[in-house]
Structure 1
Amino acid sequence: MTTWHEHAIFWHVYPLGALDAEPVLEEGAPVTHRLPRLVEWLDYAVELGVSGLLLGPVFTSRSHGYDTIDHFEVDPRLGDRADLDALLAAAHDRGLKVVLDGVFNHVGSRHPLFLRALEGGPTAPDAALFRLTWPEGGGEPAHESFEGHEALVALDHDDDGVAELVTEVMEHWLRAGFDGWRLDAAYAVPVPFWQRVLPAVRAAHPEAYLLGEVIHGDYAGFVAGSGVDSVTQYELWKAIWSALNDANLYELDHALTRHGEMLETFAPQTFVGNHDVTRIATRLTDRRHLAHALVVLLTVGGTPSVYYGDEQAFEGVKEERLGGDDAIRPALPERPADLAPYGWDTYHLHQELIALRRRHPWLHRARTAGVTLSNEVLAYEARDGENRLVVALNISDEPAEVPVVGTVVAGQAEVAGGAGTRVPAHGWAVLEP
C-alpha cells in the first residue's frame, strides 16, 4: 500500500523561535495569537515545493518546548486551540500534511502530574509515572532526568500509566486531523515501550507518519524493533558537511553505501539542517559547496526536510550553553516579502532541486552506486529499477571529467568528448543518461 509520506518533502519549522515567542512562559501570561502568522508562510512553503510541515513543539511548556507542561493544550505564547486548528486547516487546504513534535521521554518539572507526585508522596498514583528515589525519613525525592537537565523529568516507561498517557496524547491529535508524529529523543526511550504504544496508534491511524529522533546506533534495528516508519539520518548529515569541508569525498561515498543498506528496510529522514545543529550555510567552510550539500540531500533515497531559513541561507551557530540554540532558531519576518534580498538565490536553488525530485519520485527509494571517486570529485548513480540519474560533484579548483554522457537536467556541465562530461571547478550536475 502506497502511503502519502513515501513521497513527502518537509519544511521543518520551530514555531517558538520562528514566531518570536518569549523565551519563558510566565505564570498567568495571556494568550498571544502568533500561530496565525505562520499561515502567512504556507504559500511560500508550497512555492518552495514541499508537501508537508514538520512542526516543532506547539504544546504548553515552560521554555523551549521540549519541557512539556500540558500535551493537550497549545502553548499560550503561540496561541490557542482555534489557532492551531486554523493552521492545520490552512495547510490541508494547500495540500500540506502536518506532523507534530511529541516529547514522550520526559516532561517539564512544572508538569501537573509531576507536581502531584511530589505532593502525594511515594504511594501516590502519579508517583509511579516517574523514576523517583525517595529519601528515608521523608522529603522531596530525587528524579532521573534527560541527559542531566534537572528541569526535564524522565518518565518511567515500564509503567502502564505512561504507556496509556502517551497513547492517549498521540491518538488525541491524530483524531484532530494531524498527519503524524516526530518522536523527540526516541533513542532515550526503551524499544519495548514503543512496542507497547505504537501498534494501537497504527491500528487507529494507519496513515500516520511516525518519525523517531535517533542520533546514532543501529538505525535499521531501531526501526524494526520500535515500529516507527523512519529515523533521523544523522550519519549522512555529518558526512555531507564533513566530506565537503575536508575535501574527502570518500567519507561521503562510505556514508552513501551505509545509507543504501538502510534503504533496504526503511526510508531514512534526511536533512542538512534542523533545530539542534549549526546552520549548513555556517557549517560549510566554502559557501560554494552549499549547492553540493543540497544536491546530495535531494537526489538520494529517503524523506528529506528543509529547516526553515536554510532555503534562504540563514546562518547560525549551535552553542552548548544556556540560550545556545537561539541563533539557529531565529524569528521569521512578518511575511516572506520582508526577507532580505540576498537569500533568494538559495531559495530558487531549492526550488530547482525539489522540482527535480518531484519529477523523479522514485528517488525516495533510490540506491546509489559510485561511478568515479577521488578526494574532490564524486559521481554516483541513483537508481531504482529502470530509473536512473547520475550526480556529479566537483569541489576542486579545476574542471573535472566524469565517465558519463547524458542530458544535463540540473546544474552545469558540458560534453567532454564521446565518453565523458566536464563539470566546472566547484560545480555540480545531475545527468539523465
Structure 2
Amino acid sequence: MADPLEHPGPHEFATDDAGAQPDVTQETAGESAPPEWWRTAVIYQVYPRSFADASGDGIGDLPGVTSRLDALVELGVDAVWLSPFYRSPQRDAGYDVSDYCDVDPLFGTLASFDRMLEAAHQRGLRVIIDLVPNHSSSEHPWFQAALEAGPGSPERARYLFRDGKGEHGELPPNNWESVFGGPAWTRVIEADGEPGQWYLHLFDTSQPDFDWSNPEVRELFRGVLRFWLDRGVDGFRVDVAHGLVKAEGLPDLELPEAGGSLGGSREAPIVPYWAQEGVHEVYRDWRRLLEEYEGDRVLVAEAWVDPLERVASWVRPDEMHQAFNFSYLMSPWRADALREVIDDSLAAFGGVGAPSTWVLSNHDVIRHATRLALGEDHLQGHGIGPKTQGLPDRMPALRRARAATGLMLALPGSAYVYQGEELGLPEVTDLPDHARQDPTWFRTKGERYGRDGCRVPIPWEADAPAYGFSESSSSWLPQPSEWRELARDRQLGDPSSTLEFYRAALRLRSEFALGAGELEWLSELEGERMPKGVLAFRNNSLIVVANVGADEARVPEGTLLLASSEVPDGLLPADTTVWVLPAR
C-alpha cells in the first residue's frame, strides 16, 4: 500500500497574464474554457484578528496575513476569505463597520491591504473579502446623522427607525429579539432630551439595521462593491445575506410556530426578518455589477435558511455564485443524516446549476474538532465553556473530526476550511470570564458563552512568544497551553499529524479532480454489503469509505491513498475515513 500521508508539494494552477482564469464564455482553439475556479475551489477562511500579528499588539493584522501566505500555498488551498478588517469600533470584532472603504488601523492601512492582495495573487491565491450590508456600526456617519436629524428625516430613512407602542411609545415596535439575546430594538433620546423613536438592530445595539427599501442604501453598497473590485478583490462573502429585507409592516414574530429557527422551514412560516423575497433583487443587481469586471468575481451568501431548496434560490444563475451549506455543517455525525444532507445538497444546488459547498467550521460555530463529539443540542452561536456538561476528550473528538474532514474534502463542489482546523484545534472551553469579548456573552449576562472559543489566535511555532502568533507575548484572547503541541512547526513533516493529513487530502483532491467529480453511492463493495453506519461512494476514480458507526468495515482492495487514522489489518474502525484507488 502507498503511504497514506505522502507529503504534498506546493499548490499551483495556471492563470492568464492578468492573474485571473479565462472567462468561461470564451473558447480557445475550439475547446471550451475551464469551468470557473469557484466551482471546485477550497477556500481558507482567515479571521484576521487571530491569524498572525505583525505589529506586536496582540491583534492579528493584514501584514501578518501577508507574512503567512506561503503556509497557505503549502497547505494547498485555492483562495482566501478574509473576515472584516474595515474601520470599526470593534464592538463585534469588526462586523460593526463605520467605514466600508477603509482599513481599521488595528489591521493596517489600504496600502497594506493592497500589498497583501498582490502577494496573494502572485502566489496563485484568490482573495474574497467579507461584506456586511445588513447593518452598520452605530458610529457610522450615516447613523450619527440620523440621530441628530430626528424623526421623519431623510437621514433616519436610511435605517429602520419606528415609533414605539404604548401610550407614550414606551414599548418596542414589535416583539423581535436580537440574535445575540435581548430585544432587537433600542430607544433613542431625542434632541429635546426626551425618549423618542426606536431603531432596529438584529444583532448588537451598536449595529443598526439599514432600510434596504431606501435607494440611497442600495447606491452606497454599489459604490462599496466597486471600490474593492477596482482594487482587485476576487469576490465577497456576504454577511447575513438572508436578512437585508424585512417583511412589510414589520409584523410580530409568531413565536410558537417559528421556534428557534434561523430561517423558514417546511413546518414553520418565514421569519419576518429572514429570507424575504426582496433580497433576491439586491443580489441580481450585484451580479450584474460584478459581471462588468474581468475574471471570475464571486458572491458567496451567508444565508441561514431552511430547507436546502430555499438556500438554492440564492444561487440561481442570475444571483449569487455560492451559498454556505449550513445544513451540512449542522448535520449530526450519523450515517443516515449525512447521506440525506449530501443527497439533498447535490440535488438542490445542482438543480440551479450551482456547485454545492461543504463546510465544517467557521468563526461563528463550535470548532468541529469538539462539536462533532458533543450531543446534538448545541445551538449555533451559544458556545460552550467551563460549565458545559459532557465535554469530550480531545483525542477521540479529533479522530472523529479528521474522519469528517476526509469525508467532506472528497465531495464534489467547493469546500471551506477555517483557520486552525488543519492543526486539529479544538474549541477553547476554559477562557476566563474577564477575557470574553463576544457581545452574546454580555447581552445574555453570561447565560451563553458565545463564539470566543473558536476565535482564539492560532499557534505557528511551539517555542515562540504567543506560539508565533505575535512577536510579543500578547494575544487578544488567551491561548491554552495545549496550543504548544498543536503548533504548525511541530506538525509539519510529521506524517501522523493533522496538518499533514490536510495537506495530503488537498493534494489528492486536486490530483483526482474530486471537486469536479460526480458522487455514486455504493451499497456494497467486493460483493459484501456495507455495514450499517458506513458510507461508501465513488468520486471519479477514487472510492471513499467513512465509518460513522461502531462496527468495523473492510477497506476495499487497492492502493490506500489517504486514511484519517490507522486502519490495522485492513479493517476500518469507527470514526475513520479512507480514500482508495481500486485495483484494476
Q: TM-score range with shorter-chain normalisation?
A: 0.7 to 0.9
Query: 2:562 maps to what in 1?
Result: 410
Which one of the candidate residues 207, 211, 221 is aligned to 1:156?
Answer: 211
Query: 1:143 maps to what in 2?
Result: 199
SS of structure 2 residue aligned to 1:68: coil
CA contact (8 A) 2:531 2:551 kept: no
- Per-residue CA shift, 1:243-285, capped at 9, x if unaligned? 2xxxx31111111111221341211332111000001111132
Query: In 2 relative to 1, CA 55–368 (structure 1 residues): closer, same or farther, beyond 3 Å?
Result: farther
Query: 1:316 maps to what in 2?
Result: 427
CA distance in 2, matches of 1:409, 1:33: 36
Letter in 2 for 1:292: A
Which one of the candidate residues 87, 111, 115 is aligned to 1:60?
Answer: 87
Query: In 2 relative to 1, CA 108–374 (structure 1 residues): closer, same or farther, beyond 3 Å?
Result: farther
Letter in 1 for 2:523: V
1:174 is displaced (CA, Å) by 0.9
SS of structure 2 residue aligned to 1:430: strand
- Per-residue CA shift, 1:92-150, capped at 9, x if unaligned? 11111110000001111111111112212345433221111257999343112124x32
Does 2:142 align with 1:109?
no
Letter in 2 for 1:331: P
Query: 2:14 maps to what in 1?
Result: none
CA distance in 1, matches of 2:361, 2:547: 22
CA distance in 1, matches of 2:54, 2:132: 19
Does 2:62 align with 1:35?
yes
Query: In 2 relative to 1, CA 308–165 (structure 1 residues): closer, same or farther, beyond 3 Å?
Result: same
Query: In 2 relative to 1, CA 130–194 (structure 1 residues): closer, same or farther, beyond 3 Å?
Result: same
Query: In 2 relative to 1, CA 360–263 (structure 1 residues): closer, same or farther, beyond 3 Å?
Result: farther
Query: In 2 relative to 1, CA 396–358 (structure 1 residues): closer, same or farther, beyond 3 Å?
Result: same
CA contact (8 A) 2:236 2:298 kept: yes
- Per-residue CA shift, 1:43-76, capped at 9, x if unaligned? 1111111121111001111211111110011011
The 5 Å alignment of 1:254-273 reads: 254-264=340-350, 265-273=353-361
Segment of structure 1 superposing worse, 348-357 or 84-93? 84-93
CA contact (8 A) 2:202 2:209 kept: yes
CA distance in 1, matches of 2:409, 2:290: 30
Query: 2:515 maps to what in 1?
Result: 363
CA distance in 1, matches of 2:146, 2:103: 24
Query: 2:183 maps to what in 1?
Result: none
CA distance in 1, matches of 2:239, 2:327: 17
Query: 1:388 maps to what in 2?
Result: 541
Which one of the candidate residues 400, 414, 430 is aligned to 1:303?
Answer: 414
Query: In 2 relative to 1, CA 374–164 (structure 1 residues): closer, same or farther, beyond 3 Å?
Result: farther
SS of structure 2 residue aligned to 1:174: helix
Which one of the candidate residues 83, 89, 105 is aligned to 1:76?
Answer: 105
Which one of the candidate residues 3, 8, 12 is aligned to 2:41?
Answer: 8
CA RMSD of aligned residues (A): 3.0
CA contact (8 A) 1:413 1:429 kept: no
1:314 is displaced (CA, Å) by 1.2
CA contact (8 A) 1:20 1:331 kept: no
Letter in 2 for 1:252: L
Letter in 2 for 1:69: S
CA distance in 2, matches of 1:307, 1:270: 12
CA distance in 1, matches of 2:581, 2:284: 43
Q: Tell me: higher relative CO, structure 1 or 2? Use CA pairs within 8 A at least 6 residues apart.
A: 2
CA distance in 1, matches of 2:117, 2:463: 23
CA distance in 2, matches of 1:61, 1:366: 43
1:303 is displaced (CA, Å) by 1.2
Segment of structure 1 superposing worse, 358-367 or 44-53? 358-367
Which one of the candidate residues 249, 262, 269 is aligned to 2:335?
Answer: 249
CA distance in 2, matches of 1:282, 1:211: 26
* TM-score, structure 1 as length reference: 0.85
CA distance in 2, matches of 1:109, 1:150: 8
Which one of the candidate residues 272, 287, 291 is aligned to 1:198?
Answer: 287
CA distance in 2, matches of 1:232, 1:133: 33
* TM-score, structure 2 as length reference: 0.64
Segment of structure 1 superposing worse, 169-178 or 134-143? 134-143
1:306 is displaced (CA, Å) by 1.1
Query: In 2 relative to 1, CA 212–159 (structure 1 residues): closer, same or farther, beyond 3 Å?
Result: same
Letter in 1 for 2:290: V
Letter in 1 for 2:511: R
CA distance in 1, matches of 2:148, 2:52: 36
- Per-residue CA shift, 1:200-253, capped at 9, x if unaligned? 2333355211100012221112222870001000111122xx22xxxx311111
Query: In 2 relative to 1, CA 41–215 (structure 1 residues): closer, same or farther, beyond 3 Å?
Result: same
CA distance in 2, matches of 1:234, 1:365: 22
SS of structure 1 residue aligned to 2:401: helix
CA contact (8 A) 1:267 1:364 kept: no
Q: Which has the higher helix share?
A: 1
Segment of structure 1 superposing worse, 299-308 or 340-349? 340-349
Does 2:302 align with 1:213?
yes
CA distance in 2, matches of 1:19, 1:119: 40
